[in-house]
Every structure is written in C-alpha cells, then in structure tokens.
Amino acid sequence: MSKYFIGVDVSTTASKALVVDEQGNVVAVKGYPHDLSTPRPLWSEQDPENWWRAASSALRDVLQQVPAEQVAAVGLTGQMHGLTSLNKDGHPVRPAILWNDQRSIAQCATITARIGEKRLYQLIGSILLPGFTAPKILWVKENEPDVYAQIAHVLLPKDYVRYRLSGAFVADVADGSGFGLMDLSKRDWSDELLDAYGIPRAWLPKLCESQDVSAYVSEEAAAITGLKAGTPIVGGAGDQPAAGVGNGIVEFGGCSLTIGTSGVAFAINTRYAPEPDGRLHTFCGPIPGTWFHMGVMLSAAGGLRWLHDTFAANMSYDEINRHAESVPRGSLGLLFAPYMTGERNPHPDPFARGAFVGLTLRHGLPHFIRAVMEGVAFGMRDQLELLRTLGVHPSEAVISGGAANSPVWRQLTTDIMGIPLYTVNTNEGAAFGAAILAAVGAGAYPNVPAACAQMVRKVDSQDPDPAGKADYERLYPAFQALYPSLKGTFAALAQYES
C-alpha cells in the first residue's frame, strides 16, 4: 500500500496542505487565504482562527484525493515569530502579532540593555529585532495588561494549528529559535532570558527536533479535517528552514534564495557560529546537530506586488514581465531601495523605507518595474555577501518564490548574484519541506539528507550572462550606498507616519 505525507504551511497569505508520495511527487495541493490586519502603522496582525479554518479546509480537500489511512504522517511549517497568545482554555486572547510587526522597538532596546548586546547575541544568534516573538510578549505586558493577565500559553502560528490538530503545546527548535528565548547552542529555552523578560516557562511549548513525532491527530480534529485519528504529527519547522529542506539545502556550502513576500538567503552549518556583527540570523537547523544562517529582506516580491496593485492593477504579470524586458539593465539610472516595511539584514532598521533614486523625465512605468526587480535582487546579493563572510561560497544556488516564475527577474537575479541559479521539482518549498520531514518522522527515510537525495530533484539551471554580470557588478556599489545615504532621512520621516 502506498504511503503519503502531508505538509501543512501556515503562511502569511494562506494555509495550504500538500500531499507527496514516497518519491517526492506532489499528489495534491490546496490552500485557502488569510486576511491581514494593519490597524496602525508598523502593526501586522491575524486572527489565529483563520489559520485553523484555512488549514482544516485545505486538509479536507486534499483528503478527497488520497485515502486518510494511507497518510503516514503530517508535517507543519509556517510564518515564523508570530505571537499567538492563549488563555488557560486554549483560546486566543488577542489577534496574533506577526513576524513583520514593528511595534516592539522599545522593548528590544530594554532587553538588549538589560542582558547586554554581546551576551544576548551569543544566546539567540541574532540582534534582537521587533519581529521576534519575545519582545512582543513584553509589549503586551506593558501596553495591554488585561490581555497579558489572561495568557497561559504562547505559540507560533503553525504550532497553533498543531494544537488544534492534537491538543499538544509543542514547537520545534528551528521555529522556536525565532522566539528570542532560547540558548541556541543548547537547543533549549534559556532560564537567563526567561528571567530577564519575566516570562513563565510554563507558558512556553515543549521543544522537539523537526523530524521527531511531536503529537498525534485527535478524534475531534479527525472529524473536522478528515485525517485519521492517531496520525503522527512531526515537529516540522518554520517556513524558511522548511523551505531549505524542500530545496535540498541540507549540507554546508549549499545555498537557497527565496524571493517571495519576503526575501531569504539560507545556508546550513554543522556548528553554532553566529555572524560576528549580528547582520544575519543563526538559528537551530531542521536537522539534529545543525544550525542555519538566514539573511532576511522584509519586503522582496512584496515590493513588486505593491507596484502592481497601486499603479498597474489591471495589468497581468505577463505584461509586467514584458515591460521589464523592454528596459535596459540599470533602468536608465533608476535605483530602488527595497525597504518597504523596514529591514532586517544587513540593515536592522525598522524605520528603513522604500525609495526610488535617480528619477528623471525619461522614466515611466516599465523603468519602475525593472528597478524594483533589480533593487530586490541587489538586496538578495547583500545577503549572499554576508554568507560569504562566514565561509559559505556556493557555486550555485536554488531560487524559489515569485521571482523564479518570471524569466526576466530570474535572469537579472542570476546576473546580479554572479552564479548559476536552479529550480527544483516543486515550487512549494516550505510545504514540501514539511512533507519531507514527515516522511523521515514516519520512518520512510533514515534521515533528512537521505530523504532529500530521493525526493528533491534539480529541474533546470540558468547561468549568468557575462555582459549582465559585468554591468550589475559596476552598479552594485551604487546600490550599497543607498541605505547609508538615506538612513537619517528615513528616521526623520518616521515621525510623520502615525
């Protein structure tokens, strides 16, 4: 009897369920969208019940195509860092505060001063940023004391779905790293950090490795989703480490570039070695005994979506691509700073903003389109350069996300990176990775690298154009100068946003 594995992905925009077989072939996929709330500038929230409704509906749909009794395990993935606060009865006490929410700037400064920047960085593998979960808890304590008093559990988005599937309060170490409350070298919660925040350890989920069985589907959830009661649920991973698995990046030296709503450069390490200046995240890896480095742009393909929705809503993305192709490299001297929602790496600045520089009367919509694509690709080049400082020198990299689906964007990104970029046999990176972790947890493969060797396959590769590589190499220093030149302006303008 064939075995199937399901990856459930609770992303910012939708929850989807993906079914694969033992060879890594995608058998079924279905997703439902989420609403996003931005009640104030720099705020970003969602209703956790929307995640559950979307995920359970997606599971019901894919289980119309495969028998539930042949599903050997479920893996979970999703947006990282989101604070999901529950009361003693397991009900949300407020909307979840998401990864791209910037309200906890003051709390980050307080905790950093209390613990010490160097000590904090040694523990959590990153500069403490407002996107992380822990400072959001402190924000709730200081600004919503009535809500804070009700909290009995805090979970990450995908782990709320695990809770609804099983009743278990569990997080994997890869996603749990994004709380900012772990001693990452020990792969466990840090009593030192919990004391500094004043957060009870009892609030936190139990930690497990990404491939370990963490819970089982309950009778109640089985009736709602169509899954068989008792189906194992593995730890899974946050969307970026899960996408790393889905892209086959499971050994030191490999690299993936995901250009979706956000942009992420991802690489695995076999030792805990944070970037010395804190310009990358280093978190526990989705494979036992590994860690991963991650450079994050908060807005990547989201910048192009903004341009489309605001100025070209009636235009198809095929037309958008044709406009970009019609413009020469460098967009006639128009540069785009892609910091539409603040930035993380290499510029940890919640006040950073988007900017077009070099605008003249010659520029029209096609130039803006190409400039956005180029600016995002240059931002990803910044992440790659940071990985190189840690000894990660990939000879090629996986590309995924929206940019991978645009021939012109993919080519200019290849030229800007200066190395070949290739795709793999599915563009469902995070959900696919969660399904691979489920296969390992179910015993279909002895470990994650063995599973990836069988289930992840290179589809095609695109080489840099020598002329394009040379042109962009000359333009890259001008892009690098944008943020330092505009930093003071961004800070001055922040007072006008409320």
* Residue numbers annotated as active site: 239
The owner of tokens 């046999």 is 425
Per-residue pLDDT of the chain (498 residues; tens, 9 = 90+): 789 999 999 999 999 999 999 999 999 999 999 999 999 988 999 999 999 999 999 999 999 999 999 999 999 999 999 999 999 999 999 999 999 898 999 999 999 999 999 999 999 999 998 989 999 999 999 999 999 999 999 999 999 999 999 999 999 999 999 999 999 999 999 999 999 999 999 999 999 999 999 999 999 999 999 999 999 999 999 998 999 999 999 999 899 999 988 899 999 999 999 888 878 899 999 999 999 999 989 899 999 999 999 999 999 999 999 999 999 999 999 999 999 988 988 998 889 999 999 999 999 999 999 999 999 999 999 999 999 988 899 999 999 888 999 999 999 999 999 999 999 998 888 999 999 999 999 999 999 999 999 999 999 999 999 999 999 999 999 999 999 999 999 999 988 886
Cα–Cα distance measured from residue 167 to residue 90, given in angstroms and rounded to the nearest whole number: 9
pLDDT in the model for residue 298 = 87
Give all domains of the chain, ordered by start, each with its CATH number: 4-240 (3.30.420.40)
Q: pTM of the entire structure?
A: 0.89
